[in-house]
Structure 1
Amino acid sequence: MANNRWDSDVVIAGGGLAGATLALALARMVPALRVTVVEAFPLSPDALPEDYQPSYDARSTALAWGSRLIFEELGLWPQLAAHATPIRHIHVSDRGRFGATRLHAEEHQQDALGYVADNRWMGLCLMRALSNTAVSWRAPAAVVHMEPLVNGVRVDLEHNGEPQSLTARCLVVADGGRSGLREKLGFVARTRDYGQNALIANVTTSDSHQFTAYERFTDAGPMALLPHGSPEKPGHQSALVWTLDDRELERMLGLTEQQQCQALQQRFGWRLGRFTRMGQCHHYPLKLTTIDQPVRSGVALVGNAAHALHPVAGQGFNLALRGLMTLMEQFRLASLQHQSPGDMRVLAAYHRHHQQDWQQTVRFSDSLIRIFGAAPAPLAVARDAGLLGLDLVPGAKRWFARNAMGVGGRRPVVADHSSSESR
């Protein structure tokens, strides 16, 4: 519920995919709240979705089926679907061994198990939708400091090189884990370094992907190939996520494109035929980062600012999206009850409802790394039997599928946190 004492009800630090999605959710589900987004990159009025031309080297994100349901709820899915490649089959295997499991959308009476969408396309769709809302933007700008106030916060900015300040009832940090803002605010992150790197690139193969995502566990670490390109016809382009240690990463980056394709062929195999092209390579170190207490009075961390996962199961953004909807739901309830969105009871309820989901998702992703990392032969045989068991045992396969589809965690919960007697 708006209060003229404050410049804004909610300030969102970061206008990327997480911040923009939260802003849209609040605009459409809690319109009584005044929302301001602070984004480091300038906004281009010419960047409209209908002008979008897919690039071969576009970075992409795997969207679980549960994420589609969320975007449908926000009214954004019809736009996103125009360039979202469906994942209709998932093939999980262990290189050089017999273990494998296969998931098919038709087994779950759905069109797809998930989707692959270019990050830029999702950003354009979000910007277009937000342009028709009351959400205000400060860009290019960055939050440099925050000071607690009674029932709110003062947020200090640098906007176009000039210092500014906003008063708000709640600051939501959605600018990822690399900006340093969460550390400036005193949050302590727990980090586990996997000692590996993710190499990201788009590749072309001689055989069509047939809308199949491949998760391949090797002695050097996992790799994934996700169908990319047209949502209508099965094509030959896939998005690669390849786990490499420092030495192998340096070697790969020093190879020619043809040599990179040969190295990938040797590691992945021939399920997609010959690798004929490998696009621009991006890479980043792999770490598991969590914040035990991502909320305090007037402040909440979301997305990668609150938790960053290994990309092995493609769960990072999908987990973040569920958390954003949980936070939105608590803000909606607070607005109905004339509570401040920065009230610690409101933010504690968000953390409580989201915590089980992120703990379960972290365990699921982290266990895959531990089980399918380099291991002695007896454990390798056991995990192959486990993969084969997943393929044969309906209950186990459904559990695996629900986690892969992003519907294994808890859905946002409407909770009454106005008093101890409310439940």
Structure 2
Amino acid sequence: MNSDFDLLIVGGGLVGGSLALAMRDIPLRVGIVEALTEAERQASTAGDRALALARGTVQILDRLGIWQDVSAKAMPIRHIHVSDRGRFGKTRLHADEKGVDALGHVVVARTLEDRISQELHKLDAELICPARVIGLKAGQNGVCVTLKKGEECLNFTATLVVAADGGNSTVRKLLGIQQSVRDYGQTAIVTEVSTQADVNFTAYERFTTAGPLALLPLERRKCSVVWTMKDQDAEEVLSESDANFTASLQSAFGHWLGKIRLAARRQGFPLKLVQAEKMADDRVLLIGNAMHQLHPVAGQGFNLGLRDAAFLAERLSTKLAFREDIGEKAFLDRYVRARQRDLANTIHFTDGLIRVFCTDFPPLALARNAAMIALDCFPPAKRLLARHAMGYGFRL
């Protein structure tokens, strides 16, 4: 089969777009299929969310040549403050203790999306937009892909298809790949607040009786809020007036940043741990949210997806050096095995936090607070936690 593309990336968003940029100096015929027009992307509320970028993620974005422009609109995290409301346990991490300028950064998703989109239009790769995949059929030497672009149906062939088309991945559904789903019975309430005191480059993770509460610095006196709680409690909180919600949030967070004021509308998102039952099919790979969706407690979702893309680009570059078939089963199997450890460790880390900190069982609450104090006083343990926070703890 003579392929139209060596690599066809389905999804030109944060993860798929980053993969395309990582491939720019690799001699492959690359196609990118994106369902949303530029106007639709700009209008989507998904672009309003705050992304917590680990230090390792920032280094990947820098290698892609896009971080310099994004950094001007990003807020560095130089301190991380973890606490348990109403109890004595606290853990604090500081960038200067690790000899770095920042443990990570916070950026509004649209800022990063805009920069990736700008660079995609400069690539030699063919951008097919707006278009949706409506058919896939793998053969011995390639994949036949049918797209719907307006009223037109287009047919292409590719040596390898990479699905980076999000949690509702059309590619995954067409392949019949099932998902394992763990419903946490929780909702993430997302909003923004202005603060009386300077945030001082600090990210707060506070475990409350309702659930984990994160405040991430957006500006000197502005934070993104992600407050996780049981579905029923979230429904009640979302129905409160702005004044009552703000009072509830202030009570849960405390006065670390003085008086807080609501600065954006509230949105609720149900939380589930979702994993595709396999990462690869015949000449197809799933990456990012098409493969995995995590609880936001540790902000690992995009960081994990970007590592998927960066690692795949590295493996493809090595593969091409030997002029080998990039879609062959042996290559895909090796990629899957190599990524499994990072995926499993990241899931266990985030899922473990939820299990330990979303309970008020007194013996467990006492134990976790004692552990937080010990962690704060034990440098080797703090170094390990800092590596996780910077995105290095899961490195292969």
TM-score by length of structure 2 reads 0.95
Matching of residue 134 in structure 1 with residue 124 in structure 2: yes
**2:217 maps to what in 1?**
227
Contact 2:133 2:170 survives alignment (8 Å): no
Query: How far apart are residue 14 of structure 1 and its match?
Result: 0.9
Output the amino acid matched with 2:372: L
Matching of residue 399 in structure 1 with residue 389 in structure 2: no
Q: Find the aligned partners of 2:120 and 2:108 in 1 and give their Cα distance.
A: 19
**1:285 maps to what in 2?**
270
Query: How far apart are residue 12 of structure 1 and its match?
Result: 1.0
Matching of residue 254 in structure 1 with residue 239 in structure 2: yes
Q: Give 1:33's match in structure 2, choosing from 28, 31, 35.
A: 28
Query: How far apart are residue 183 of structure 1 and its match?
Result: 2.4
Contact 1:330 1:349 survives alignment (8 Å): no
Contact 1:331 1:346 survives alignment (8 Å): no
Residues 300-338 of structure 1 deviation map (CA, whole Å, 9 limit, x = unaligned)? 000011111111011111111111111111111121111
Q: Give 2:353's match in structure 1, choosing from 344, 364, 368.
A: 368
Output the amino acid matched with 1:90: I
Query: Which one is further off, 333-342 or 33-42?
Result: 333-342
Q: Find the aligned partners of 1:174 and 1:108 in 2 and give their Cα distance.
A: 34
Q: Give 2:9's match in structure 1, choosing from 4, 8, 12.
A: 12
Q: Find the aligned partners of 1:358 and 1:62 in 2 and give their Cα distance.
A: 18
Query: How far apart are residue 180 of structure 1 and its match?
Result: 4.3
Q: Give 2:394's match in structure 1, choosing from 387, 390, 409.
A: 409
Q: Find the aligned partners of 2:395 and 2:333 in 1 and give their Cα distance.
A: 16
Q: Find the aligned partners of 2:262 and 2:208 in 1 and give their Cα distance.
A: 22
**2:162 maps to what in 1?**
172
Query: How far apart are residue 358 of structure 1 and its match?
Result: 1.0
Q: Find the aligned partners of 1:270 and 1:293 in 2 and give their Cα distance.
A: 46
Query: How far apart are residue 291 of structure 1 and its match?
Result: 2.7
**2:201 maps to what in 1?**
211
Q: Find the aligned partners of 1:218 and 1:367 in 2 and give their Cα distance.
A: 16
Contact 1:326 1:353 survives alignment (8 Å): no
Query: How far apart are residue 174 of structure 1 and its match?
Result: 0.5
Q: Give 1:78's match in structure 2, choosing from 48, 55, 68.
A: 68
Contact 2:238 2:268 survives alignment (8 Å): no
Matching of residue 294 in structure 1 with residue 249 in structure 2: no
Matching of residue 185 in structure 1 with residue 175 in structure 2: yes
Output the amino acid matched with 1:392: C
Match of 1:67, SS state, is helix
Contact 1:86 1:113 survives alignment (8 Å): yes
Q: CA RMSD in A?
A: 1.8
Contact 1:260 1:278 survives alignment (8 Å): no
Structure 2 runs not aligned, ≥5 long: none
Output the amino acid matched with 2:174: K
Alignment length (residue pairs):
393
Residues 161-206 of structure 1 deviation map (CA, whole Å, 9 limit, x = unaligned)? 3211110011111011124431221212111111001111111111
Structure 1 runs not aligned, ≥5 long: 48-54, 230-234, 412-423
Report percent identity of matched pairs: 43
Q: Find the aligned partners of 1:291 and 1:407 in 2 and give their Cα distance.
A: 24
Residues 350-398 of structure 1 deviation map (CA, whole Å, 9 limit, x = unaligned)? 1111111111111111111111111311110000001111101111111
Q: Find the aligned partners of 2:249 and 2:160 in 1 and give their Cα distance.
A: 47
Q: Find the aligned partners of 1:39 and 1:22 in 2 and give their Cα distance.
A: 13
Q: Find the aligned partners of 1:153 and 1:121 in 2 and give their Cα distance.
A: 34
Output the amino acid matched with 1:19: G
**1:123 maps to what in 2?**
113
Matching of residue 306 in structure 1 with residue 253 in structure 2: no
Q: Find the aligned partners of 1:184 and 1:168 in 2 and give their Cα distance.
A: 16
Output the amino acid matched with 2:10: A
Matching of residue 380 in structure 1 with residue 365 in structure 2: yes
Q: Find the aligned partners of 2:170 and 2:126 in 1 and give their Cα distance.
A: 24
TM-score by length of structure 1 reads 0.89
Output the amino acid matched with 2:125: V
Q: Find the aligned partners of 1:11 and 1:283 in 2 and give their Cα distance.
A: 34
Match of 1:12, SS state, is strand
**1:22 maps to what in 2?**
19
